[in-house]
Structure 1
Amino acid sequence: MTWGARIRLLLGLLVVFAIVAACTLVFTQRQSRAESRSASITAESFTVGSAYPGTVTTMDAAVGDEVEEGETLFEVRSPQLARDLESDVVTADDLGMPVDDDGTYAIVSTVDGTLSEVLAPVGDFVQGGEVLATINRAGTLAVAAEFVLTPRDYGRIGEGSSVEVSLPDDQVVTGTVSTIDVDTVDGQASSTIVIDSKALAAEPIGGLYQPGTPVTATLQLRDDGPLAGAADAARDFLRKVGW
């Protein structure tokens, strides 16, 4: 082999390596999917509280029970309420809840859902306005996920972007981006994204399907075309050299 042929071979290899390196860079910069750093199931939560100070005398539902709007959860006996009723300071209609003459009143669920927390068991004395329990509203299961993206890739997502959610049992449900909250840290966009999923929202709350369950969310980034990565790389180079 002549020296000329060797030089041409060497130049050809360098060109091939350069093309492979450029393609690798473009592929890395233009990934079509992004996986969440962390993600978990969420739900809308509502609290129920006491109207008057008193003692919790009965509890008609336990944590994990499904409850309906208007269903009685607790009964509280309040001597102060009994005195106010007797002196006509208030009436049962004023309170908007079932009340006995002895000052015992019912605390009812404000929504359909699942009782997720009880803060005042039977025998506890509660103040007026104190929270007694929390209810996760039915049909509101969603996912809150954190993604770390480059600013350019952050620009490739938006409301309605497709997301796959992998549950701990390896089941996968689909969803869409509902809201995006972003902070830029060290040149990267740290985004907290809320994902709505009809399949997830249709599940009863409990077991794997409850707030706090860790999941993995995979976000589909917008495809800007096969030459988008090369164009981005060229713009970055020109910006670095001051053009």
Structure 2
Amino acid sequence: MTWAGRIRLAVGLLVVFAVVGACTLVFTQRQTRADSVSAAMTADAFSLGSVYAGTVVDQNVSAGDTVAQGDTLFTVRSPQLARDLEQKAITADDLGVPVDDDGTYEVVASVDGVVAEVLAPAGDFVQAGELLATIDQAGSLAVAAQFQLTARDYGRVEAGSTVELLLPDNRRISGRVAEIDVETDSGSARSTIVVESPALAAHAIGGLYQPGTPVTATLQLRDDGPLAGITDAFGDFVRKIGL
């Protein structure tokens, strides 16, 4: 073989090794990442209810309004409460909300946040304990993501694992696995993972940034080594052909 032939052979081998190495790297990277089947923003929701049966005489907020803890959202007039106060069967301190002697009481916001839903507008009669509204708490935005994982990949998910979130405005932010819930479905782990992200939690609730907004989540699985993906794939193939 001439020197020119030897050089061409050496260059060809280097190219083959480079291609195989690149393919191995890409394959391994793919084996350490999992994309969500579905994912959406969530927030801690707080319910506000009536403490006595009565009529809603004032409604100070609508869905989408920003409120602060202690803001008066509803005023309810209750003849039954007026009677109980008169008979000293109960005191205003027992209720823990502002109350007048005529049985009128206020329903106030328990947290800072955004009103998600109003269920009892002015003029409605409500029973004791009936839900009037819900508030999405400020600073609590997170993501609930569903993943379909093999049993082996589920074992590579850990609390604190990195999750990349692609938001509706095409921003990419980082989060961490906070909670993991799993159900087994035909040999696969159908996992619901709660992802917390300081960058997302710091965003004001509203517009695209509110519960129910879809996002894409990419979960970083534990890296078991550069050849783990190839070894696992080969093992799966051997099991499928019955060897």
TM-score range, shorter chain: 0.7 to 0.9
Q: Which residue does 1:222 correspond to in 2?
A: 222
Q: Which runs of 5+ in 2 are unaligned?
A: 1-15
SS at 1:203 equivalent = coil
Q: State the percentage of identical aligned residues.
A: 66
Counterpart Cα distance in 1 of 2:54 and 2:233: 69
Counterpart Cα distance in 2 of 1:172 and 1:198: 13
Counterpart Cα distance in 1 of 2:136 and 2:165: 20
Q: Which residue does 2:71 correspond to in 1?
A: 71
Q: Which residue does 2:31 correspond to in 1?
A: 31
1:231 to partner: Cα distance: 3.3
Q: Is the 8 A contact 2:74 2:107 kept in 1?
A: yes
* AA partner of residue 200 (structure 2): L
1:156 to partner: Cα distance: 1.6
Q: Deviations over 1:185-224 (max 9, x none)?
A: 1222111110000000001111111000011111112211
Q: Which residue does 1:156 correspond to in 2?
A: 156
SS at 2:93 equivalent = helix
1:128 to partner: Cα distance: 0.6
SS at 1:205 equivalent = coil
Q: Which residue does 2:110 correspond to in 1?
A: 110
1:28 to partner: Cα distance: 7.7
* AA partner of residue 106 (structure 1): E
Computed over aligned residues only, the root mean square deviation of the Cα atoms, in angstroms, reads: 2.3
Q: Which residue does 1:187 correspond to in 2?
A: 187
Where in structure 2 are the equivalents of 1:19-98 lying within 5 Å? 27=27, 31-98=31-98
Matched, 1:146 2:146: yes
Scaled by the length of structure 1, what TM-score is found? 0.84
Q: Is the 8 A contact 2:28 2:230 kept in 1?
A: no
Q: Is the 8 A contact 2:49 2:133 kept in 1?
A: yes
1:53 to partner: Cα distance: 0.6
Q: 1:225 to 1:28 in 2, by over 3 A?
A: closer
SS at 2:223 equivalent = coil
Q: Is the 8 A contact 2:145 2:193 kept in 1?
A: yes
Scaled by the length of structure 2, what TM-score is found? 0.84
1:112 to partner: Cα distance: 1.3
**Count of matched residue positions in the alignment of Structure 1 and Structure 2:** 223
Counterpart Cα distance in 2 of 1:233 and 1:219: 19
Q: Which runs of 5+ in 1 are unaligned?
A: 1-15
SS at 1:85 equivalent = helix
1:69 to partner: Cα distance: 1.5
Q: 1:39 to 1:233 in 2, by over 3 A?
A: closer
* AA partner of residue 109 (structure 1): A
Counterpart Cα distance in 2 of 1:226 and 1:81: 70
Q: 1:197 to 1:150 in 2, by over 3 A?
A: same
Q: Which residue does 1:209 correspond to in 2?
A: 209
Counterpart Cα distance in 1 of 2:235 and 2:59: 66
Counterpart Cα distance in 2 of 1:109 and 1:67: 7
Q: Is the 8 A contact 2:31 2:229 kept in 1?
A: no
SS at 2:169 equivalent = coil
Counterpart Cα distance in 2 of 1:241 and 1:119: 59
